[in-house]
């Protein structure tokens, strides 16, 4: 057996030709390559074949009188041979030895439109995080552990998977693969300022040169690239906004004016920046209500770069596009942003403020000399947007109440249906989407639902498909991470349940994850504390027994915006917490090939009352769905944690109970009351006394009978 690049090859020599004749070959690729270790010179024809054996596929590499047999490739693998051939041909006249393809768009978005899925089109890999590098004889993908299995399922035998997501790994590989002095091509629109600096810092000392190529090479060969979505941007109704867009412009201009480095304008590149500033929403990005745009805002002018043909007459009036004073928006073509930025910088004494986290290198590299540039990690729009005003806080809480109804409907339905053996991960995901669609102001899901049972739940960001959907069973743990977009808010919640008899270890792991969630939720801390300094509270109960999880503990969330809204959260590059910020709290635990646990809630920072100090904060949980009682071992909980849990359940009963009654959902109300009954203050499991159960459930049953 020959192991090459994590794929297994079986060598068959010329004596096995009779065996080979029994196989059916279908050509899936054709490429010329030079076998560097051969004693004789010359070029060898390498033919990649698919060997059909029943319903399985293998990839075969035929070299002269021998062939090499790869592992089975699943039917989900994409044939990329012709795409790689065309891209490599386009690299030659540009004199580049390698080309880098990230999994993002020109606005460095987490979620991208189908027309920007260049990495997926080139490689077949559809994960949200990854980077490809293509040379004349190799195609390699880097991604993190969330996507290793997915990548193996989706990529064909042209590709090699490297199980690493670090830029250092990519640059080390490039230094080994291409000679000193050679050029590495990249699209500067797809690199942030910070990411470019890391690549350049690693490659330049080794003599490998980054070459900026603004005309994307993948776009040139992608003949059936999806078109621009047809939907026009719209403005939010007055009922969901407190600050008009001119008021927001004033807020940002005040920060421009107060900045001691005296910028004359701020450049907004992230899609949510322009959408927030003008109270606009769009439909260009799946799950995210954004539209392609840039904004350049100065003290007396506003330039909005959009696809102008999509701006309706109503929007032109809304944006004051026909006047020329400081609150009039000048509409310019989306594609003209580079040329207009250059012309602005040619004016005397101009200085542009950019946030390096979301400004692409294509725009940044134009801002020269350095005295025309002012940088911060995040733009003033992102840091201002992170703190919700009173209206935003109120309506976002209201959206979470209605969302809780939908999630409870899912959990109640699964309790009934799973024992029947008729449902799978995909039908459960579809059901929760249907439940949300019936709620007021619904605008669809906020991301692709993670509906995962048993070993699939051990993959932290698994989403089911027709090929992978696992039947739901009372013998397995089930994790559902889902969210909704509503006109008044964005939601994200994860619950893990078990419909049968969980093991003692599953109960302990679940309880310790819950303890981490509670410890962060009940924490009291000074305003201005960074999330990274509290993050270990979510892990401590797991660490005590040698367990951990490999993802972040929380992220910001928006008002009918992105479900992952930067820069709020618990990572080192998040901004300090202030009153009015919304964040997820989501510790977890994942046992490979067995089960996964995650408990995720959204919480808002609110003032905390302390005995002595002022200006302290705590979290108020706004996700209002009960946890799975049978997975909680209350003997592990401290009295403070148990008290917090009972108070949380009282809030669910009061707040969601009213909404269930308003919607006339009697069965869901009874389910909620049963699952939020108070916990005993002592004992080895989360059981409730028969008296408590009667007091909680019986009145609603009697009332139902009387009616």
What does the domain layout of the chain look like in residue ranges?
80-221, 234-385, 390-684
Please report the pLDDT score of residue 73 as a whole number.
62
pLDDT, tens digit, 9 for 90 and up, residues 132-184: 999 999 999 999 877 888 898 899 999 999 999 899 999 999 999 999 999 99
pLDDT, tens digit, 9 for 90 and up, residues 400-449: 999 999 999 999 999 999 999 999 999 999 999 999 999 999 999 999 99
State how far the Cα of 691 lies from the Cα of 590, in Å rounded to an integer: 37
Element (H, E) at 474: none
Local structure of 471: helix, strand or coil: strand
Place of tokens 């996964």: 596
CB 140, CB 172: distance < 8 Å:
no
| Confidence band of 58 (pLDDT split at 50, 70, 90) | very low
φ and ψ of 123, to 5 deg:
-110, -20
Range of lowest pLDDT (37-46, 65-74, 291-300):
37-46
State how far the Cα of 416 lies from the Cα of 435, in Å rounded to an integer: 16
Matching fold, domains 80-221 and 234-385: yes
| Confidence band of 459 (pLDDT split at 50, 70, 90) | confident
Q: Which two tokens stand for residue 112?
A: 């991208």
State how far the Cα of 246 lies from the Cα of 308, in Å rounded to an integer: 21
Instruction: Return the biggest CA–CA distance within the chain.
Output: 94
CA 547, chain centre distance (Å): 24
Instruction: Report, in this order, helix, strand and coil percent for the chain, each rounded to 5.
Output: 35, 25, 40
- Average pLDDT on 194-213 reads 97
Element (H, E) at 251: helix 245-258
Local structure of 693: helix, strand or coil: helix
Please report the pLDDT score of residue 47 as a whole number.
43
Please report the pLDDT score of residue 404 as a whole number.
98
Mean pLDDT of the chain: 88
| Confidence band of 349 (pLDDT split at 50, 70, 90) | very high
Element (H, E) at 309: none
User: Looking at the predicted structure, is the pLDDT value of residue 32 above 80?
Assistant: no
State how far the Cα of 274 lies from the Cα of 311, in Å rounded to an integer: 14
User: Looking at the predicted structure, is the pLDDT value of residue 657 above 70?
Assistant: yes
Place of tokens 């008044």: 488
Place of tokens 């590149």: 269
Nearest to 219 by CA among 338, 385, 390, 83: 83
β-pair type (588-591, 209-212): unpaired
CB 115, CB 140: distance < 8 Å:
no
Please report the pLDDT score of residue 30 as a whole number.
37
Q: Is 260 exposed, middle or buried (0-12, 13-18, 19+ CB in 10 A)?
A: exposed
Q: Say which residue, 673 or 686, is predicted with more confidence.
A: 673
Q: Give CATH for domain 390-684.
A: 3.90.230.10
- Average pLDDT on 502-525 reads 98
| Confidence band of 474 (pLDDT split at 50, 70, 90) | very high
Please report the pLDDT score of residue 53 as a whole number.
38
Topology of the domain comprising 80-221: Creatine Amidinohydrolase; Chain A, domain 1 (3.40.350)
User: Looking at the predicted structure, is the pLDDT value of residue 693 above 50?
Assistant: no
Topology of the domain comprising 234-385: Creatine Amidinohydrolase; Chain A, domain 1 (3.40.350)
User: Looking at the predicted structure, is the pLDDT value of residue 68 above 80?
Assistant: no
Range of lowest pLDDT (9-23, 127-141, 289-303, 406-420):
9-23
């Amino acid at each position: 057996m020959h192991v090459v690049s994590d794929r297994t090859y079986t060598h068959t020599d010329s004596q096995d030709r009779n065996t080979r004749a029994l196989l059916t070959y279908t050509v899936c690729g054709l490429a010329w390559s030079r076998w560097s270790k051969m004693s004789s010179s010359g070029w060898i024809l390498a033919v990649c074949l698919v060997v059909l054996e029943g319903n399985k596929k293998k990839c075969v590499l035929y070299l002269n009188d021998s062939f090499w047999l790869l592992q089975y490739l699943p039917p989900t693998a994409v044939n990329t041979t012709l795409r790689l051939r065309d891209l490599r041909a386009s690299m030659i006249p540009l004199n580049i030895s390698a080309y880098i393809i990230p999994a993002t768009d020109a606005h460095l978005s987490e979620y991208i439109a189908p027309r920007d899925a260049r990495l997926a089109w080139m490689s077949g890999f559809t994960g949200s995080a990854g980077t490809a590098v293509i040379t004349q004889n190799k195609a390699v993908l880097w991604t993190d552990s969330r996507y290793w299995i997915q990548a193996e399922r989706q990529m064909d035998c042209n590709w090699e998977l490297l199980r690493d997501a670090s830029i250092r790994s990519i640059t080390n590989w490039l230094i080994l693969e291409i000679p000193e002095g050679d050029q590495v091509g990249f699209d500067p629109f797809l690199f942030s300022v910070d990411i470019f600096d890391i690549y350049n810092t690693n490659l330049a000392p080794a003599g490998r040169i980054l070459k900026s190529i603004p005309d994307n090479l993948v776009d040139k060969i992608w003949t059936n690239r999806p078109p621009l979505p047809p939907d026009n941007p719209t403005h939010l109704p007055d009922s969901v906004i407190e600050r008009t867009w001119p008021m927001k412009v004033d807020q940002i201009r005040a920060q421009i004016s107060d900045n001691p480095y005296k910028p004359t304008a701020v450049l907004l590149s992230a899609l949510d920046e322009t959408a927030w500033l003008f109270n606009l929403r769009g439909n260009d990005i799946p799950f995210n209500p954004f539209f392609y745009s840039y904004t350049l805002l100065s003290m007396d002018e506003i330039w909005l770069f959009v696809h102008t043909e999509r701006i309706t007459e109503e929007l032109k009036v809304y944006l004051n596009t026909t006047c020329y004073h400081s609150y009039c928006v000048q509409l310019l073509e989306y594609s003209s942003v580079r040329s207009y930025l250059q012309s602005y910088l040619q004016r005397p004494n101009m200085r542009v403020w950019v946030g390096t986290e979301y400004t692409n290198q294509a725009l940044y590299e134009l801002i020269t000399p350095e005295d025309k540039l002012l940088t911060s990690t995040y733009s003033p729009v992102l840091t201002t947007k992170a703190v919700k005003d009173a209206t935003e806080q109120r309506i976002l809480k209201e959206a979470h109440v209605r969302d809780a109804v939908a999630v409870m409907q899912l959990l109640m339905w699964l309790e009934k249906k799973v024992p029947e053996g008729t449902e799978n991960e995909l039908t459960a995901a579809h059901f929760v989407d249907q439940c949300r669609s019936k709620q007021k102001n619904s605008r669809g899901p906020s991301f692709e639902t993670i509906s995962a049972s048993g070993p699939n739940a051990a993959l932290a960001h698994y989403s089911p498909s027709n090929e992978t959907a696992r039947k739901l069973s009372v013998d397995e743990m089930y994790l559902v991470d889902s969210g909704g977009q509503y006109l008044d808010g964005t939601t994200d919640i994860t619950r893990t349940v078990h419909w049968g008899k969980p093991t003692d270890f599953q109960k302990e792991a679940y309880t310790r994850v819950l303890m981490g969630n509670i410890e962060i939720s009940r924490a009291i801390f000074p305003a201005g504390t960074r999330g990274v300094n509290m993050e270990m509270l979510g892990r401590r109960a797991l660490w005590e027994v040698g367990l951990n999880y490999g993802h972040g503990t929380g992220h910001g969330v928006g008002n009918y915006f992105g479900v992952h809204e930067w820069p709020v959260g618990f990572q080192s590059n998040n901004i300090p917490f202030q009153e009015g910020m919304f964040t997820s709290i989501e510790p977890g635990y994942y046992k490979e090939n067995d089960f996964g646990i995650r408990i995720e809630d959204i919480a808002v920072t609110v003032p905390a009352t302390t005995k002595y100090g002022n200006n302290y904060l705590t979290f108020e949980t706004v996700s209002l769905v009960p946890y799975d009682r049978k997975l909680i071992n209350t003997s592990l909980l401290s009295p403070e944690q148990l008290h917090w849990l009972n108070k949380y359940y009282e809030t669910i009963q009061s707040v969601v109970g009213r909404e269930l009654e308003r919607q006339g959902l009697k069965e869901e109300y009874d389910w909620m009351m049963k699952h939020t009954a108070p916990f005993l203050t002592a004992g080895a499991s989360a059981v409730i006394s028969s008296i408590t159960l009667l007091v909680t459930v019986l009145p609603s049953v009697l009332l139902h009978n009387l009616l």
